[in-house]
Structure 1
Amino acid sequence: MASVATVFGFLLIMVVNTVVAAVAIRFFRLRLSTTWGTVVYTALLVPLLYVVTTILLSGFIGFGGSGVRDRGTALILVWVVPFTLAVSLDVFWMPSPEEVDLPEQTR
């Protein structure tokens, strides 16, 4: 059975990864002019951000130690669920990039 600290640690990692992914995806959708650019940057850079946040935060809960019995389930909880939630938040809840007014670029 998982301890309270392990469960809290997983929830913390899930929340942080969801916020990081949602902000990154939103930034890519607003700044990039092509749909494929957004998809490629999201598919390549968000997992790299997940590696960093998971390594930084998992030291507190012992991600690879005795706190986790099944690593596959742990990775699904820490990476797949936050990524899916962040994509759905950006696609379904946030206004489309065409509706957002960006400041003029001065050169």
Structure 2
Amino acid sequence: MVSAVDIVGLFIILGVNSVVAALLTRFFRVQLNTQWGPIVYSVLLTPLVLVILVLVMGGAGLGPNLGSAATVLGLTVLVPLALGMSFDYFWQPSPDEVEVPDNL
């Protein structure tokens, strides 16, 4: 039986992974000046970071036992990756539209 603490732990994992996916997607969009570079890097490198975060947070006791590795990867990696990337691409302005001061 899943307890309320396990559900809260799962939501913490989902929230942290979604934020990390959005930040990494924004980082790749700002740093790479190619058309496909940010998408390729976001799809290939971000899941690796999310898997490491899941292993660390799951090892710390957060989240319930989801049963299979496919369920864990689907729920804690693919869903936050989709949420983070969609947040950055659809709700954040393009890096070209943001005004940055000249003197840093």
Same fold (TM over 0.5): yes
Taking structure 1 as the reference length, the TM-score comes to: 0.82
Rounded to whole Å, the distance in 1 between the matches of 2:16 and 2:62 is 17
Task: Extract unaligned runs of 5+ from structure 2.
Answer: none
**Preserved CA contact (<8 Å) 1:28 1:41:** yes
Match of 1:79 among 61, 66, 77: 77
- What are the equivalent positions in structure 2 for 1:61-80 lying under 5 Å apart? 61=61, 67-80=65-78
| Change in CA separation of 1:40 and 1:100 when aligned onto 2, cut-off 3 Å | same
**Preserved CA contact (<8 Å) 2:10 2:62:** no
Q: CA RMSD in A?
A: 2.2
Taking structure 2 as the reference length, the TM-score comes to: 0.84
Rounded to whole Å, the distance in 2 between the matches of 1:23 and 1:62 is 22
Task: Number of aligned residue pairs: give it.
Answer: 104
Rounded to whole Å, the distance in 2 between the matches of 1:28 and 1:103 is 20
* Deviation of the 1:37 alpha carbon: 1.0
Q: Determine the structure 1 residue equivalent to 2:96.
A: 98
| Change in CA separation of 1:101 and 1:60 when aligned onto 2, cut-off 3 Å | same
* Deviation of the 1:61 alpha carbon: 2.8
**Preserved CA contact (<8 Å) 1:61 1:67:** no
* Deviation of the 1:105 alpha carbon: 9.0
Moved more, 78-87 or 53-62: 53-62
Rounded to whole Å, the distance in 2 between the matches of 1:72 and 1:104 is 47
* Deviation of the 1:102 alpha carbon: 3.9
Q: Which amino acid aligns with 2:67?
A: R
* Deviation of the 1:12 alpha carbon: 0.9
Sequence identity percentage: 40
Q: Determine the structure 2 residue equivalent to 1:53.
A: 53
* Deviation of the 1:31 alpha carbon: 1.4
Match of 1:88 among 86, 89, 94: 86
